[in-house]
Amino acid sequence: MSTIFGNLCCMFRRCLFSVLSIGPIPDHIAFIMDGNRRYAKRTQISTGHRVGFSALISVLRYCYEIGVKYVTIYAFSIDNFKRKPEEVQSTMDLMKEKIDELLEEHSIVNKYGIRMNFWGNLNLLNDAVRLSVEKAMRNTSNNTGPVLSVCVAYTSTNEIAHAIEKSCCQKTEMMKRMHANGFENGVVEKNTQTMVTVVDLEMHLFSNDCPDPDIIIRTSGETRLSNFLLWQSSFSHLQNPTPLWPEFSLRHLVWAILSYQRAYPYLQNRSKKML
């Protein structure tokens, strides 16, 4: 009985997605998974993050079925380290458990051949989580399916500062080389850009091999970006559906994509004008 129902749901989803795909399908959707703690309080369960993780797996499946190639999630902000130590610890433990689960044979990662990235200051993670994170990136680095980028110990301002630092180091190295080779002989390479440019910075952002998000969805009705992808979101279609993250479901995702499709001609015009 349950498999019949499951098959019906699956068929229904396929029909729905084929209707959606008449319009433009976003390449990249980013999620701020807000509301896990409020959900836990409201439903009196001990951990909202665990339910939040199942919601994430469903959302990932829908996204990949629709044909979205990049999904980015805000899992843990640098500011979240200021929460109670027990809470930080239990979130970290859960994160490690779930990352390890994602690497198992039957997981969604293997099913879709997902390549996993982790964006953030990974040095802030404890050793156990960092090792899992590194293993996940290494183990999925040859996968050619969709890309899942998980922001942990992340803030956008930290990402930008990190990119500036990298760019400056690179320029300094370049200047040193120029002094060593060229200057004495009066030879300076033509077109050498010694100042840090936007292109340099973008090359050193964590998102360097990823298009900017077409849609950013923040659940629980909040309207702030909270230091998430500030550089990458200039032309993103922002959505703030009211359900808490564990309640975010297929229809909310479909609604967000329809809304993006309605705004698409305008978004296209805007981003073209700015280039």
Ligand X SMILES: *[C@@H]1O[C@H](CO)[C@@H](O)[C@H](O)[C@H]1NC(C)=O
Catalytic residues: 34
> What binding mask, one character per residue, do residues 46-85 give for ligand X by CB under 6 A, x or -?
----------------------------------------
The least CB distance from residue 273 to ligand X, in Å, is 8
Torsion sign over Cα 167, 173, 177, 182: positive
194 forms part of the interface with ligand X (CB under 6 A): no
Which single residue is written with the structure tokens 């967000």? 256
265 forms part of the interface with ligand X (CB under 6 A): yes
- Between 214 and 247, CB nearer to ligand X: 214
Residues 6+ apart with CB under 8 A from 183: none
The least CB distance from residue 188 to ligand X, in Å, is 39
The least CB distance from residue 106 to ligand X, in Å, is 12
The least CB distance from residue 227 to ligand X, in Å, is 30
Please state, in angstroms and rounded to a whole number, the distance separating the CA atoms of residues 59 and 71.
10
Please state, in angstroms and rounded to a whole number, the distance separating the CA atoms of residues 152 and 133.
10
Q: Which stretch binds ligand X (CB under 6 A): 159-167, 213-221, 237-245, 264-272?
A: 264-272
Site for ligand X in 106-145 (CB under 6 A): 139, 141-142
Residues in contact with ligand X by CB under 6 A are: 103, 139, 141-142, 265-266, 269
